[in-house]
Amino acid sequence: MMEPEKPKTPDAGTASTGQTLHEMLRWVEEEPGRILEAFPGLPFAEQLGVLLLTPGQLRQDLLLSSPLAGELVPMLPEQEVYLTLKEIGFEDALPILSLMTREQLHYVNDLEAWHKERFEAATFLKLIKMIHQCGEDKLADWLDAADPEILVLFLKEHGSVTKFDVTADPVETPVPHGSITYDGFYRYYPTRPEFAPLIDPILRILKTSNPEQYGMVMESTYRDLPSEIEEEALRFRSERLSEKGMPGFEEACEIYRPLTDEKFIEYTAEAPSNREPCTEIPALYPIRWLPADSFLREVLAALADHPETDRIRTELASLGNKVLIAEGMDVTSGEPLKVALNKVTDTLTLALEHLAGKNVQEAASWLTRAWLHHLFRLGMSQTRKLAERARRVRDRAGFPWIDRFHLLADSPLDDTLRGLLKPRPLFYEGPGKEGLAEFRDFAGMEDLRLSEARVSATEAIADLFSEHLHASPERIKQVCLEAGLGDQLDRVGWSQVLQTAWVHQTLTGQPEFHPLTPAEAQQFLREAFVGVSGTPTRKLDPQFTHTLLLWTLDRAGSPGEAPKEIIREWIQSGTTRIEEELEGLDPEKPIDSRFVKCLCIRGETLTEGQR
């Protein structure tokens, strides 16, 4: 007897089939009305292929139009069906719910009826009611396959069970008011009257369809402790979810373990192609949600007809689930899953660019030879290496102050360190709309190289301050405290310190850091600012910036061109701030230190006449 042909995924089949499918997918995006008209006449394999790449409501509309809906829904991966229900709304997705298999319903229940490790009886009841709306036969089939432990927890949450006692209860005693019984032996008492019409059909259908299961459930509800039952139910649930790529927390966190290049190469010897081929249809929602311009999408497109494509798609979905669980996100919502898949995309891109640069064919080759789990770990390890450097330079770039650690490094160096030092290293993207630092996952080697340049610049500046200005973080703190600037210490940064030292260089010929007196600041204003011809405006003498740049870059060592450019921009930004703050001040009047942020100036109370 011949085995039935496995339904083809969108990239499989003959050239003509593939061409038809690609045309259908273009209609999905551009002309959904046209695909609705053509869909019922497509062969089964092409209908399934189109369904896997369509969003929720359109997917249900296509199913309702197809005479093959009863065969199509059972072929959809559990997570695809679940996300469809979530996108449409359970109440509006009864046509799909009525065609789902026991396994698909198990998956939905395992996610919906639990909050972390706690059973949610109210949610379970809602699901049971919706299955019941699909017909009593559907509910009977589901109850027959459901874990008895789940049913026991549900019944215990909404009521209690007593047993007929032949030695104490009169045989002719009528069934007590408010109780439910279908065998005269077990009597169920709902805690609230409104629960009775909801639970009654469940017990009736269970007793009729599976009397043995009914007896086990009622006896356990009568006798067993809820905590023991919940523990057993949780074990069964965890095993099922793990088989579907939804592991427990500890297993999910394995994706964040570091992996060296050498170990990764060793693992590639255990090639994925050596294992048994996967017979399950892969979930395609990760492909649907990939950014259109992502490097990973380009690499996957190069593998459209490769035999490893289904395996890669399945692993993409599994990785998304692992990130979802490891990050403590809501596993019952589509939006957190999209966030998790974005992280997967970014981290895999980081690994592939580390291995192959921007070479699409070489990156595609790595995808076919390596497990995505190992590629993800390799990508995460690239940021971990940089995080270690950031951790080492941190203590040379700041000091403990009151209840926190104050970084002397200026933006973007300080925020780059903060991003790298998070439990999961992040890339500092820049200030957001409200001026707050915005962080995101590293999206590729370009992000990593920019962060490396910033860390190298921070290391070079830390060396410069310690070796050439004798201004270590602790020394800077001590000098500021001795000058009475303790209340301003959390606003002191390297830029202020360097510029204050260079003001001393301008006035005395020696670059050394100690806060200026108001008189010294006033003298600097007179000597370093020059008039602009034809205007009353005074600008900072360009020579101040020029000599500071030469002195700094000459002593910054050899961090590389990119870090040197960052240092150059940092100095120019600082001297621009000096000009912006001081250019409008009268050089004949003492400077009020309260309104100057670009230099460290000792505070002195000015008289009314001085102001």
Q: Output helix, strand, coil percentages for the chain, rounded to the nearest 5.
A: 60, 5, 30
How many Å from the N-terminal Cα to the C-terminal Cα in the chain?
102
Is 129 exposed, middle or buried (CB count within 10 Å of its CB: 0-12, 13-18, 19+)?
Answer: middle
User: Would strands 404-407 and 529-531 be described as parallel, antiparallel, or unpaired?
Assistant: unpaired
> What's the whole-number average pLDDT of the chain?
87
Of residues 164 and 133, more confidently modeled? 133
* β-sheet bridge partners, residue 401: 404
| Stretch 92-116: mean pLDDT | 92
Q: What is the pLDDT of residue 55?
A: 82
* CA distance linking residue 143 with residue 146, whole number of Å: 5
Upstream peptide bond of 412 is cis (omega within 30 degrees of 0): yes
The beta-strand segments (E) located in 364-479 are 398-401, 404-407, 427-431, 437-440
* CA distance linking residue 350 with residue 339, whole number of Å: 17
Model confidence band, residue 176 (pLDDT cutoffs 50, 70, 90): low
For 535-577, how does the pLDDT look when each residue is reduced to its tens digit (9 = 90+)?
A: 777 899 999 999 999 999 999 888 899 999 999 999 999 999 9
Residue 17, pLDDT > 80, answer no
Model confidence band, residue 434 (pLDDT cutoffs 50, 70, 90): confident
Which contiguous run of DSSP H or E holds residue 354? helix 334-356
- Total-model pTM: 0.82
* CA distance linking residue 573 with residue 583, whole number of Å: 15
**Alpha-helix residue ranges (DSSP H) falling in 224-333:** 226-243, 249-252, 261-267, 285-289, 295-301, 309-326
Is 297 exposed, middle or buried (CB count within 10 Å of its CB: 0-12, 13-18, 19+)?
Answer: middle
Q: Which amino acid is at 396?
A: R
Residue 6, pLDDT > 60, answer no
Q: What is the pLDDT of residue 299?
A: 93
* CA distance linking residue 501 with residue 510, whole number of Å: 8
Residue 504, pLDDT > 70, answer yes
Provide CB contacts within 8 A for 342, sequence distance 6+: 291, 441
Report the sign of the C-alpha dihedral through residues 530, 535, 537, 543, in that order.
Answer: negative
Provide CB contacts within 8 A for 536, sequence distance 6+: none
For 33-91, how does the pLDDT look when each residue is reduced to its tens digit (9 = 90+)?
A: 788 888 898 899 888 888 888 888 889 999 999 999 999 999 999 999 999 999 999 99
Residue 173, pLDDT > 80, answer no
| Stretch 261-279: mean pLDDT | 75
Of residues 98 and 284, more confidently modeled? 98
For 117-159, how does the pLDDT look when each residue is reduced to its tens digit (9 = 90+)?
A: 899 999 999 999 999 999 999 999 999 889 999 999 999 999 9
Q: Identify the CA nearest to 453 among candidates 367, 311, 563.
A: 563
Q: What is the pLDDT of residue 608?
A: 45
Buried b (16+ CB within 10 A) or exposed e, 438-453: ebebbbbbebbebbbb
* CA distance linking residue 32 with residue 24, whole number of Å: 9
Q: What is the DSSP letter of 593?
A: G
Percentage of the residues of the chain whose pLDDT score is greater than 70:
91
Please state, as a whole number, how many other Cβ atoms lie within 10 Å of the Cβ of residue 138. 18
Model confidence band, residue 9 (pLDDT cutoffs 50, 70, 90): very low
Q: Which of 118-122, 301-305, 406-410 has the lowest mean pLDDT?
A: 301-305
Q: Which amino acid is at 375?
A: L
Query: 3-class DSSP state for residue 540?
Result: strand
* CA distance linking residue 427 with residue 450, whole number of Å: 9
Model confidence band, residue 174 (pLDDT cutoffs 50, 70, 90): low
* CA distance linking residue 265 with residue 269, whole number of Å: 7
* β-sheet bridge partners, residue 516: 601
Select the highest-mean-pLDDT range: 1-5, 350-354, 465-469, 489-493.
350-354
Model confidence band, residue 414 (pLDDT cutoffs 50, 70, 90): very high
Instruction: Specify the residue for token string 């910036």.
Output: 545
Residue 610, pLDDT > 70, answer no
Q: What is the pLDDT of residue 278?
A: 59
Q: What is the pLDDT of residue 606?
A: 42
Provide CB contacts within 8 A for 79, sequence distance 6+: 107, 244, 245, 283, 285, 317, 321
* CA distance linking residue 338 with residue 330, whole number of Å: 11
Residue 2, pLDDT > 80, answer no
Residue 215, pLDDT > 80, answer yes
Q: Which amino acid is at 175?
A: V
Q: What is the pLDDT of residue 7?
A: 36
